[in-house]
Amino acid sequence: MHPKHSIRPLGPLSLAAGLTLVGTAAHAQSTSHHHKTRHSQGRRNAAALPKETPKTTAPTPHSDVQQASSVEASAAEAEHLHVVGSPMNILQTPMGISRLPDDVLHTPQTINVVPKVLMEQQNVKSLDEALRNVPGVTASVGEGEGGMAGDQFLIRGFSASNDIYENGLRDFGVYTRDSFDYDHITVIKGPSSEVFGNGTTGGAINITTKVAHLGDSYSGSFSGGSADYYRGTLDFNKQIGESTAIRITGMGNENNTVGRNDVYSHRWGIAPSIAFGLGKRTTLTLEYLHQTSNNVPDYGVPVITKPGTKVAVPITEYGLNRNNWYGTTYDQDASSVDMLTARLKFDLNKNITFYNDLRGGKYSRYFSASQPGCDTTCATDFFTNPSAAVVDRRGHLGGPEPYQQNDWSVQDVFSGVAKFSTGSIRHQIIAGVDIEHVYDRRTNYAYNFNGQNGTKADTTSLLNPSATQPGLLLGSASQYSYDLVNVSGVGQPRYKTGDATDVGAFFSEQFWLTSWFSVRGGFRWDHWDSHYAANGGEAGAGVSYGQTQDTFNPSVSLMYTPNSNLMVYFNWAQSTTPLGLYVTSGTEPLKSSTEGFSPERSSLYELGAKYNAFHGRMGFTASVFRLEKGNAMQTDASTGDVTSSSDRQRNQGVELSVSGEILKNWTMIGTYAYYDATTVSSLTAADVGKRIQYAPKNSATIWSTYTIAPNRPWNLTFGGGLTWRDGVWLNAANTARVPATMEWDAVISHNFGKHWRIAMNGYNLDNRLNYSNLFSDRATPAVGRSFLANISANY
């Protein structure tokens, strides 16, 4: 039988809160003191640096990544590491991936970073909240029969649902990711298949986690605020002997949602890690993550066309109560995630380093969500006779019925990095093999209404919805098979099974023709084998499909580095996305009408510059790009069917960023993106020249704080920021749209001595009606005005 969502997991939060109050810890002193130390180091060492210092390949001191993912630095490079002005300067952030051994400054691509200090100031609690600091990233929920929730992101208007990584390895799960274990987040914009494998059309999201490090540190926090929000976290690190350390981070979280009725999120998690050989030639880091979540999914409000107008907008724009939620008592998103990761680094000598990263993941998820549909009659009634307007909750896509999803995956990446010289030319070669397998199994359930075969009626009032639907019954896996959703060309299957295996090999070389000019070229070859089957229920014998594809993705970069603080680059890269790639996060990876479709292919052309200024206090980036996507898949909004593989789409634009410390104790991070995103060609002629859905024309973020009297008893830090995004189209025809997003947030905090801190965060201070998750014909109102108080301790 399906799980019962009425059971709320209170225990882990109580545990986390208790641990927080017992004796908590931290590995750093106050942020302002941290900045002061780095400034003095930078000023003392700046004059001693050679005119052309080799670029940094080791992590900066403020990162928790430590030596586990670095190549040993030369003496000159080690000296250069002292020139670090502010942890808010994203250019000094190490990429933290063996295939990308440099920092952000020396990686030739547009890269946005959400640093640890920013997440702390904003009291970030999830991956979704953190990525609001990145322009061009929007949240969406998969459409089609069996639509997904969890973390579903788009980058530059293109799906990135299968492009989420932790420490360079894929996280295949579909769930809402909590940020309790995050050190920082990196978003690499544009195709990156040469590094990450298939996918990454708009980019890749890489999470660098908190792992065991040398030294002892203890920290914890407790937050409480609007909508019964309660959250506790714990972070404990202990050095054992000369080169071994253990670390445990934990979290408990319970909250309702401001501005949305009946929507809540309960979760808890723990992430222990142990590292052997820290600071030695051989380092082994073992990490484990467990997260249990119990949420109510929110598919938002319908997008409707007002009579006499041509463009549909969310119905809340016409005065409907933003709090209205159109789910039922059956709606639930309950997931359990377990991931075990082993990362091995071996320095053969100062020039050659080998890595092996291995991960196994197991995901269990029960999902049931209502998808409100407001047809023409419903929309007309809303404007003429509102009390008569009725919403259909069983979904405008013929579902979805609930399902139980059980997945597992394994990935192993072996790579080597070699540095050497041939005469006056320096070389860096990266090569390796990437093998992964993912398996997905779904068991479908069906609703029945008053015992009537084939009837899925489930309606509620548009103005005053009720979560209770008398007569609506949810059966077990063996009940109501005749009411399973009817899948085109399949029937009414009870079981859906997908699997995919990828074997990839990658190679790249960067060579310095002079001390200030280098060229990097690389490629990756992948052999992708995917399968999909649907059977049981009323599907008869069922169906099964298979597809095998070989893909080749090259990249070339030209880099001009006149000194260690400036890089001007040109980057060309390609990526491919086979149709069967999204085994866990897609609804039907393959079907008879799409089997054999050519993979989507994307090409990136990018020219950019990155500059590290004022002894590392500030970083500036600017880039212009063109991203072209061919064989683009189209999903029909009414059926979820993939109907075309010939569209060509193009997104071109400009991205800018500034980060760091403007003046002493005054920090900021700001970003801006302009996108000219259009459909260049299509089988649907009317779509040609239209903007790509979900790609805003303009978007920007800014966050700034100032500290008064740091390290004094009367110290005070205050600041805030803005998140802004133009309105975006919701479909390829450009007939449905959501308005612009503008959210003002703020923070004020005070440190008690070196170890304790209290803070108050305010979100959406003007209580503006914004929209978070976007769909083809629905949108979810974002959180209303809310406040969160926090107390934390660091030792």
Query: Is the sign of the CA dihedral 632, 638, 641, 644 positive or negative?
Result: negative
Query: Is the sign of the CA dihedral 86, 91, 96, 102 positive or negative?
Result: negative
Residue 5 resides in a domain: no
Comparing 775 with 520, the larger pLDDT belongs to: 520
Tell me how far apart the alpha carbons of residues 302 and 312 are, in angstroms, rounded to a whole number.
Answer: 10
Residue 398 belongs to domain with CATH number: 2.40.170.20
In sequence order, which residues have a C-beta less than 8 Å from that of residue 673 and are 6 or more positions away? 135, 136, 653, 654, 655, 656, 696, 698, 699, 700
Tell me how far apart the alpha carbons of residues 193 and 202 are, in angstroms, rounded to a whole number.
Answer: 11
Cβ proximity of 103 and 92 under 8 Å = yes
For the cut 70, the answer to whether the pLDDT of residue 4 exceeds it is: no
Comparing 36 with 95, the larger pLDDT belongs to: 95
Question: How many domains does the chain fold into?
Answer: 1
Tell me how far apart the alpha carbons of residues 623 and 322 are, in angstroms, rounded to a whole number.
Answer: 38
For the cut 50, the answer to whether the pLDDT of residue 52 exceeds it is: no
Residue 283 resides in a domain: yes
Phi, psi values for residue 79, rounded to 5°:
-65, -40
DSSP label at 596?
T
The listed range with the strongest mean pLDDT (74-88, 260-274, 581-595) is 260-274
pLDDT digits (tens, 9 = 90+) for 67-92: 333 334 343 333 333 444 578 999 99
Residue 469 pLDDT class (50, 70, 90 cuts): confident
Comparing 32 with 777, the larger pLDDT belongs to: 777
Residue 181 resides in a domain: yes
For the segment 412-428, the average pLDDT, to the nearest whole number, is 96
Q: Is 686 helix (H, G, I), strand (E, B) or coil?
A: helix
Q: What is the pLDDT of residue 38?
A: 38
SS (H, E, C) 489-543: CCECCCEEEEEEEEEEEEEEEEEEEECCEEEEEEEEEEEEEEEEEEECCCCCCCE
For the segment 622-648, the average pLDDT, to the nearest whole number, is 71
Q: What is the pLDDT of residue 489?
A: 67
Q: Is 458 helix (H, G, I), strand (E, B) or coil?
A: coil
pLDDT digits (tens, 9 = 90+) for 308-320: 899 999 999 999 9
Residue 338 resides in a domain: no
Q: What is the pLDDT of residue 68?
A: 38
For the segment 590-612, the average pLDDT, to the nearest whole number, is 81
Question: Mean of the per-residue pLDDT values for the chain?
Answer: 84
Residue 488 pLDDT class (50, 70, 90 cuts): low
Residue 469 resides in a domain: yes
Q: What is the pLDDT of residue 400?
A: 62
Residue 1 resides in a domain: no
Residue 580 resides in a domain: yes
pTM exceeds 0.85, yes or no: yes
For the cut 90, the answer to whether the pLDDT of residue 708 exceeds it is: yes
Percent above pLDDT 70 for the chain = 82
Radius of gyration of the chain (CA): 26
DSSP label at 748?
E
For the segment 94-114, the average pLDDT, to the nearest whole number, is 93
For the segment 88-109, the average pLDDT, to the nearest whole number, is 93
Residue 335 resides in a domain: no
Give residue 410's domain range: 11-329+343-794
Q: What is the pLDDT of residue 502?
A: 94
